[in-house]
Structures are given as structure tokens and as C-alpha cells.
């Protein structure tokens, strides 16, 4: 199949909802405004915002700390490469849905997971970042995939997890590519300081305080809430564009505040200088992609990471036009096109 048709198929959502309702009927069934946060999580809503593709590749794995949700096509493919997708803070594996379908359509293997405490994975008692990274390795080991050539694809905070994974395991695993989608800046000083740490600890111990703010002062705005406006830059009012925003909102209202604070408390800075040296000595390719209208992790952060990495390595920077933070939902076709050009097509 020609690339434009592959991309069109990967991004088409009509007929995909498990509920078997049309996109138009789903969009019409959820009235935007102050009641959207309650109506979008009623029984049955999950089927409106679960695609046939995700459902057909979904399963669960029990780790020592708890059960995690996976989505993969490993049993259907035999390639030597495995594309591993790692979502960001408060996200879930569904945010990669167009890319997962694109990778599958090109006969490659993929694996995505809901990180512990997010999506439909179980909560942990705490979330040290390096322990989360080890849980990704444990999933690969349990699936007998740790010897594959890995393409690590992180989004937002998932970029930090991907880079940590590379730093910890690049001598023991073959990491062919490191793909950073909307990465945060290299040094996040905002998480430092005793006052900030105290505030995070309060949020972790009493998450209902933040839940109250989210419910009454943010999510009551519906599709004008911060979690939508920050993730989408386009004013796409088409049926499929509105559906993707509703899908994002459906996931947003179910994010566990305690998990957010737990991940921020457990945040581990990346040893960027050491990563830079390791990349120089390896054959790992680096791809950095970001939306030009991203207000969460601005493009300048991606550009700074790209410049910091040595010019002697195979590195690529791709800017997605008219796109916000959730690159796969805000600009799925252009994201798929650039991902195919800079990642899938690279040997």
C-alpha cells in the first residue's frame, strides 16, 4: 500500500469505536460544558473511546508491584526490531494509537504500556523513576523480547524514561533508535527546592485537594479545560477532531492525582553528559520531534536537546507544523508522515 493510504488508514477512526456508534453520534452524545466531566465517564463511555485496534491488541501482565496494561502485536510478527512506546505524565498508551496502527501496518512489532498508576494499570505505593524504567525492562524480559533491536519512543515525560532506559541498558540491549516526541527540557529546576518538594508531598498525601481544584475549577470547563487547550493547538471542529478531544478529555478526568505527585516526587534527572558520550560510542540513531505550537514542552527544548547531542551521530530533528503537545491526536497525519520518514524508513 502506498504511504498516503497507509497514513490515511492509520488515522481513520470511523468504525473504530468498540461501541459501534458512528463518530458523529458519539460527538453529539456528549454536551460540552460543566457536565461533560461526569457524562463522559458513565458506564458505556469507555466503549465510545476504545478503538477496535486497541481492544484487539490489549492484555495485562502481572509484575511484582502490580498489574499493567499492555498493547502489542508481538505474537503476529517475527521481525528483529521492536518499537517500544512510553507515554508521559498522566498519559496512557492510547495516545500513540495512530502510530501503533502505522507501525503494525508496515509489519513491524510494537509494544506500548500504561505506566504504573496511569491508564488502566494498577497503582504502586510510590513511583521512583528508575524503578518505573526497570518495570519496562521487566515487561520486555517477561515477553522474551529483550534481545530484539529496540526502537524506544517516548512522549513528554516518557522521553526521560526512554533516555534513562538507554543509559541503564544500552550495554546489555541493542537500542537501534531513540525517538523523543515533545521532550521536556534537559534540566527541570522547578522540581528542586525544599518548598516544592513539600508541596509535592502534600499533594501526594492528600490528592483530594488537587482533585477538588481539577473538578471544580478546570474540568468544569469541558473542552476548554487546561488539559485540552494545552494538548491541542488546532481549532479543528471537524467530527474526527472533536472526537479526539473528547477522547483525550475522557482519559484526562480519570487521571489519578496521587500518581502525578508520586511521579514528580520520584523524578530522577538524566545524566545528559554521560548519555552524550554513550551515543558517540554507539550506533544508536536519535530522532527528536515536536509540535511548533506546543506550550507544555516548547520546541526550543527539543532544539536545545538536539544541539546538545554530538554532531557525529545520526540525529534528526522534525518540527510538526500547527501542532500542540499531543502530537498523535492534534496532528496525526503529519506526525505519522514524519515518523515514517525519520524512524520507520531508517535502517
Whether residue 284 lies inside any domain: the answer is yes
Whether residue 16 lies inside any domain: the answer is no
Whether residue 13 lies inside any domain: the answer is no
Tally of domains in the chain = 1
Catalytic annotation, pick one of 37, 121, 135, 156: 156
What is this structure's pTM? 0.97
| Domain that includes residue 308, residue range | 60-190+267-319+327-344
* CA proximity to 108, closest of 128, 80, 137, 69: 80
Whether residue 136 lies inside any domain: the answer is yes
Q: Give phi and psi for 297, each to the nearest 5.
A: -125, 85
d(CA 305, CA 185): 7
d(CA 346, CA 179): 12
Strand order in the sheet with 58-62: 58-62, 67-72, 109-113, 81-86, 149-155, 174-181, 285-291, 315-320
| CATH number of the domain residue 182 falls in | 3.40.50.1820
Whether 156 sits among the annotated catalytic residues: the reply is yes
| One pLDDT digit (tens) per residue for the chain, 347 residues | 788 899 999 999 999 999 999 999 999 999 999 999 999 999 889 999 999 999 999 999 999 999 999 999 998 777 789 999 999 999 999 999 999 999 999 999 999 999 999 999 999 999 999 999 999 999 999 999 988 999 999 999 999 999 999 999 999 999 999 999 999 999 998 888 889 999 999 999 999 999 998 999 999 999 999 999 999 987 778 999 999 999 999 999 999 999 999 999 999 999 999 999 999 999 999 999 999 999 999 999 999 999 999 999 999 999 999 999 999 999 999 999 999 999 998 76
Whether residue 208 lies inside any domain: the answer is no
Whether residue 288 lies inside any domain: the answer is yes
Whether residue 210 lies inside any domain: the answer is no
d(CA 232, CA 248): 10
Whether residue 65 lies inside any domain: the answer is yes
Check if the beta carbon of residue 158 is closer than 8 Å to that of residue 88: yes
Amino acid at each position: 500500500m502506498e504511504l498516503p493510504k497507509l497514513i490515511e488508514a492509520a488515522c481513520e477512526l470511523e468504525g473504530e469505536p468498540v461501541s459501534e456508534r458512528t463518530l458523529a453520534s458519539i460527538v453529539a452524545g456528549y454536551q460540552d460544558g460543566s457536565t461533560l466531566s461526569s457524562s463522559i465517564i458513565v458506564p458505556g463511555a469507555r466503549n465510545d473511546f476504545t478503538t477496535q485496534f486497541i481492544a484487539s491488541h490489549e492484555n495485562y501482565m502481572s509484575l511484582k508491584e502490580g498489574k499493567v496494561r499492555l498493547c502489542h502485536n508481538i505474537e503476529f510478527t517475527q521481525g528483529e526490531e521492536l518499537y517500544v512506546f512510553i507515554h508521559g505524565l498522566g498519559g496512557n498508551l492510547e495516545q500513540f494509537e495512530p502510530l501503533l496502527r502505522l507501525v503494525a501496518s508496515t509489519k513491524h512489532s510494537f509494544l506500548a504500556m500504561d505506566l504504573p498508576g496511569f491508564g488502566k494499570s494498577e497503582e504502586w505505593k510510590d513511583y521512583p523513576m528508575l524503578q518505573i524504567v526497570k518495570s519496562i525492562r521487566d515487561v520486555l524480559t517477561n515477553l522474551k523480547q529483550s534481545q530484539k533491536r529496540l526502537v524506544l519512543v517516548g512522549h513528554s515525560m516518557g522521553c526521560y524514561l526512554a533516555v534513562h532506559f538507554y543509559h541503564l541498558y544500552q550495554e546489555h540491549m541493542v537500542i537501534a533508535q531513540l525517538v523523543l516526541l515533545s521532550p521536556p527540557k534537559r534540566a527541570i529546576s522547578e522540581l528542586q527546592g525544599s518548598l516544592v518538594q513539600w508541596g509535592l508531598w502534600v499533594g501526594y498525601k492528600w490528592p483530594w485537594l488537587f482533585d477538588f481544584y481539577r473538578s471544580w475549577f478546570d474540568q468544569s470547563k469541558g473542552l476548554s479545560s487546561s488539559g485540552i487547550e494545552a494538548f491541542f493547538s488546532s481549532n479543528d471542529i471537524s467530527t474526527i477532531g472533536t472526537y479526539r478531544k473528547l477522547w483525550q478529555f475522557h482519559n484526562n478526568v480519570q487521571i489519578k492525582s496521587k500518581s502525578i505527585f508520586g511521579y514528580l516526587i520520584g523524578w530522577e534527572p538524566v545524566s545528559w553528559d554521560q548519555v552524550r558520550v554513550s551515543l558517540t560510542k554507539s550506533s544508536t540513531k536519535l530522532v527528536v520531534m515536536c509540535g511548533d505550537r506546543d506550550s507544555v514542552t516548547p520546541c526550543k527544548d527539543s532544539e536545545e536537546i538536539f544541539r546538545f547531542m554530538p554532531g557525529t551521530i545520526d540525529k534528526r530533528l522534525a518540527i510538526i507544523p500547527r501542532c500542540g503537545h499531543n502530537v498523535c491526536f492534534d496532528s496525526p497525519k503529519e506526525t505519522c508522515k514524519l515518523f515514517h520518514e525519520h524512524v520507520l524508513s531508517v535502517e
